[in-house]
């Protein structure tokens, strides 16, 4: 099974080797068919601390690294 890839924006880089990435998605209400935005924040591993607030990044799902970290930052999108 392929690993999940998500695209989001870094909203915090204050932790060591960890960044918080906000991923937005568009959902549709089942009854009213209206579309709305929702978001979720993921903690992702950043080994060299090279990503900072405002960067657009791609994260990939991995085995658990810590209690909250199950994602790794793959690359930066310009």
CATH of the domain at 44: 2.40.50.140
Tokens describing residue 20:
């918080």
Burial class for 45, CB neighbours closer than 10 Å (0-12, 13-18, 19+):
middle
Tell me the pLDDT tens digit for each residue of 13-71.
999 999 999 999 999 999 999 999 999 999 999 999 999 999 999 999 999 999 999 99
Q: State how many domains the chain has.
A: 1
At residue 61, the pLDDT reads: 97
Residue 57 lies in a domain: yes
Residue 44 lies in a domain: yes
At residue 46, the pLDDT reads: 96
Residue 38 lies in a domain: yes
In terms of DSSP bridges, do strands 56-61 and 18-28 run parallel, antiparallel, or are they unpaired? unpaired
User: pLDDT category, 2, cuts 50, 70, 90?
Assistant: confident
pTM greater than 0.85 (yes/no): yes
Residue 40 lies in a domain: yes
């Amino acid at each position: 099974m392929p690993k999940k890839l998500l695209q989001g924006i870094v909203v915090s880089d204050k932790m060591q080797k960890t960044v918080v990435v906000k991923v937005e998605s568009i959902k549709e209400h089942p009854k009213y068919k209206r579309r709305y935005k929702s978001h979720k924040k993921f903690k992702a591993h950043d080994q060299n601390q090279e990503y900072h607030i405002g960067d657009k990044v791609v994260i990939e799902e991995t085995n658990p690294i810590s209690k909250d970290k199950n994602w790794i930052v793959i690359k930066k999108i310009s």
